[in-house]
Structure 1
Amino acid sequence: MSDLLKSAMGYFNTSPIISSDDEFIGQIVEVGAVKLRVKRVIAEGGFAFVYVVQDIQNETEYALKRLLGSDRQACDNIIRELNFHKQLSGHPNIVKYVAASFINHTNSAEYLLVSELCKGGSLIDCMGTTFEPDTVLKIIYQISKGISHMHNQNPPITHRDIKIENFLLTTDGELKLCDFGSATTDSFTPDVSWSAQQRDMLEDQLAFITTPMYRCPEQLDLWSNHEIGPKSDIWALGCVLYYLCFQKHPFEDSAKLRIVNANFKLPGDSRYLCFHDIIKGCLQVDPNKRFDVSMVLDRLGAISETKGWPLRGPLKLNVSLPRVDQKKRMKKMEINQCVMERNGK
């Protein structure tokens, strides 16, 4: 899966990054009952493109994700992503699904997904400045509500790629979870009957659809025989909360040994002491001992009541660094991760 499918960046960046040879720009396309004019491409990858499109009737702008399926498995993955997105849409902390359509080509298939355009930026663009604790509370509450909506489906949906980049900000100050290309209703329960080959195959599959620094111990050490399911999102949620408090990731080097042993340190900034319990509860090696999302929400409610900080209300977050600097920083981190994985760390 391309990085584009695992990142929120393409949904919101309204700076025109126009490929002069993209014949899709300027076309009128019909997706469901919506007729749209393609204005510009804002992100692209090996098998997907994201455009800003405009409803020709009411001039509302949307994001249009164009996904190309080259084989049956790729098409099945895309269809699953579209179905999850449609199922989850309607929650205030999930990017709104608008419409989707399918075009069959001779040797491939093309899928068009229309969703709301979040013009406030990505949460990653807001990093680099210190958040006050009451702001952290509002942010992590909205993130947790989005995850709760997924985990409360029947059967529960695991996102499997919860990270800072996949939360977008609307102009109304709401955070929205996006990108369901890695989502699943499957859980895995390795036990003593599993062969080494089975474990290796699952580990490779998980490595393909997850982000290294957010992987949980049970995804990296299948010999632990811990269940791999919704609790993997809670580990990632703990990483996000740590990042919001301390402006750095607890496992930024993606080192396997540090992750499987939950080897992290909480900085001494006393302002965020109220979040230590949640971070520790999310970053438990054993998923059976790890918080679930309802426990996280309960503790956020307790902090709100004790401190007198509101849980709800619009977020007013500022982009602290030029977007290009943030992208360079993230690209450098991705390169470091790939090098470490290649070296087996």
Structure 2
Amino acid sequence: MDTLISILGSCLPCFPDLSSPYVTIKNVKYRIIKLLGEGGFSYVYLVKSSVNDAQYAMKKIRCPFGSNDETYKNSIKEIKNYHRFLKFGTPYIIQSIEEIIISEVDGSKTVYILLPYFEKSLQDIINNLVMNDDKMPEEDILKIFIGICRGLKVMHNYKTTTSQSAQSVPNSIADDVHSSTSADEDGLLLPPQGPASDDEDEENGDAPPSIPTELSQLIPFAHRDIKPANVMISAEGLPVLVDLGSCSKARIKIRNRQQALTLQDFAQEHCTLPYRAPELLDVVKNSEVTEKTDIWSLGCLLYACCFGYSPFEKLELEQGANISLAISQGKYIMPKNNGGYSSELMDIINQCLKLNPDKRPTVDQLLETTIELSRNSDL
């Protein structure tokens, strides 16, 4: 029987190795309790520490081709994202606790990332409300939305210097971080065009050469997959942005059709369709995609908090509309009498869902507007 279990464990990556239901990180054993979710080559388990019986989420990523594996490069980028925003001390963005990379005898690699465990997501709350034909109070919606905006503000206003490296990543994986990532390690791997690389453009922006490189520069990052399922609720009731695997430099210059197709493929794989911005559905050359994609997703999320579904999911459910077409046309409907919510809240949704990204508010403007609405609601 033990032989059969070992064979199953090695042949089926989603099947836990029941003969060794522990993962050891820095001399601490974590017992696997159950599988929480899976996707592609990654699996998330609920685990319990042998030291204090605390529960955590353990993400396991299998990389069959080792350091040359695209999955491996993405996992290193994800680890860097968990540490990137650490210095801000924000409770609204998830941070990893520990990581370990194991080199297997067959040349493959396995990445383990220990994360906080949250019992429920914003999607769980919305699903429960829909099942009970109930709705979320506007006060609660505003509280959650303000927290999400605060987390996203850290990403969109991220500043770095040209000399910054992966020093925030633990020494145990620093070598892997340096050796496994490309020149565009923090962004998307778009085919280069012209004498200057995309990375140089993104790092230096429009700053004149005379500006000292040690000065901080604004290098916005975008989450790219804002949706209720990627917002967990902490024990303190705060919304926490999770799943930073899609997080990358926000501003991407599209110079040719090849780059446009590369970004479209990325969006199709990483950006959930009902929450995906229209500029990611049909990327055009000679354009720039920015952090405003997250603002569109925020509008969809806010709508879902109010009415149970993304505006384009709701249109599909009620009218059989094609989601992609509805998004590209910016077509959605508000329920009669705004579903009982204030016109000011509906206006925030409408502002986020502008087809032209330049007409959408910044996250700072959204935060200011929402806080003001929340204050007025309390009066």
TM surpasses 0.5: yes
**CA deviation map 1:48-87 (0-9, x unaligned):** 1111222211221111111112332221111001110122
Secondary structure at the counterpart of residue 54 of structure 1 = strand
Equivalent residue, structure 1, for 2:347:
277
Q: Could you tell me which residue of structure 1 aligns to residue 111 of structure 2?
A: 111
Query: Structure 1 residues 29 and 201 mapped into 2: Cα distance closer, same or farther (>3 Å)?
Result: closer
CA contact (8 A) 2:221 2:248 kept: yes
Distance 1:186 1:149, change over 3 A: closer
CA distance in structure 1 between the partners assigned to 2:39 and 2:329 by the alignment: 35
For residues 75 and 169 of structure 1, the distance between their equivalents in structure 2, rounded to whole angstroms, comes to 29
CA displacement at 1:146 relative to structure 2 = 1.6
Q: For residue 98 of structure 2, what is the aligned residue in structure 1?
A: 99
Q: Does 1:61 align with 2:55?
A: yes
**How many residues were matched structurally?**
287
Calculate percent identity across the aligned residue pairs: 30
User: What corresponds to 2:298 in structure 1?
Assistant: 237
Which of 141, 151, 155 in structure 1 is aligned with 2:146? 141
8 Å Cα contact 1:150-1:157 kept in structure 2:
yes
**CA gap 1:249/1:212 in 2 versus in 1, 3 angstroms:** same
8 Å CA contact retained: 1:161, 1:209 = yes
Write the letter of the residue equivalent to 2:125. Answer: C
Q: CA–CA distance in 1 between the matches of 2:150 and 2:27?
A: 30
The alpha carbon displacement at 1:186 in A equals 4.9
Q: Which runs of 5+ in 1 are unaligned?
A: 1-18, 310-345
Aligned 8 A contact 1:189 1:226 in 2: yes
Measured in 1, the distance between the counterparts of 2:148 and 2:308 equals: 17
Q: Does 1:180 align with 2:223?
A: no
The structure 1 residue matched to 2:288, chosen from 227, 232, 254, is 227
Q: Judging changes above 3 Å, is the alpha-carbon distance between structure 1 residues 76 and 24 closer, same or farther for their aligned structure 2 residues? A: farther
Q: For 1:258, what is the secondary structure of its paired residue?
A: helix
One-letter amino acid matched to 2:149 = S
Aligned equivalent of 2:329, options 256, 261, 273: 261
The range that moved more, 282-291 or 232-241, is: 282-291
Letter in 1 for 2:29: K
Q: How many angstroms apart in 1 are the aligned matches of 2:154 and 2:231?
A: 15
CA drift of 1:20 comes to: 10
Question: Is the 8 Å Cα contact of residues 95 and 177 (structure 1) preserved in structure 2?
Answer: yes
Structure 2 vs 1, CA of residues 54 and 285 (structure 1 numbering), >3 Å: closer, same or farther? same
Q: Which residue of 2 aligns with 1:45?
A: 39
8 Å CA contact 1:227, 1:287 repeated in 2: no
Match of 2:74 in 1: 77
CA distance in 2, matches of 1:27, 1:36: 8
Please say if residues 84 and 183 of structure 1, whose CA atoms lie closer than 8 Å, have aligned partners that are also in contact: yes
Q: CA deviation at 1:231?
A: 0.9
In the alignment, the residues of structure 1 paired with residue 287 and residue 347 of structure 2 have an alpha-carbon distance, to the nearest angstrom, of 23
The structure whose RCO (Cα within 8 Å, separation 6+) is larger is 1
Q: 269-278 or 232-241: which moved more? A: 269-278
| Other structure's SS at 2:136 match | coil
TM-score by length of 2: 0.70
Cα deviation, 1:227-255, whole Å, max 9, x if unaligned, reads 21211111000000011112232111462
Q: Paired residue for 2:233? A: 169
Matching residue's letter, 2:345: F
Counterpart for residue 189 of structure 1: 253
1:8 aligned partner: none
270-279 or 34-43, which deviates more: 34-43
Counterpart of 2:301 in 1: which secondary structure?
helix
Q: Structure 1 residues 21 and 205, CA, compared in 2 at 3 Å: closer, same or farther?
A: closer
Moved more, 102-111 or 83-92: 83-92
| RMSD over aligned Cα atoms | 2.2
2:256·2:286 contact (CA, 8 Å) conserved in 1?
Answer: no
Change (3 A) 1:243 1:25: farther
CA distance in 2, matches of 1:285, 1:226: 15
- Provide the rounded CA distance (Å) in 2 between the counterparts of 1:83 and 1:248: 32
* CA 1:32–1:235: 2 relative to 1, 3 Å: farther
Deviation per residue, 1:270-315 (Å, 9 max, x gap): 4232212211211111111111100110001110222217xxxxxx
Structure 1 residue 98, shift from structure 2 partner: 0.6
Name the TM-score, length of structure 1 as normaliser.
Answer: 0.77
Letter in 2 for 1:147: L
How far apart, in 2, do the equivalents of 1:21 and 1:33 lie?
24
Shift of 1:26: 5.0
**Counterpart secondary structure, 2:73:** helix
Contact 1:25 1:41 in 2 (8 A): no
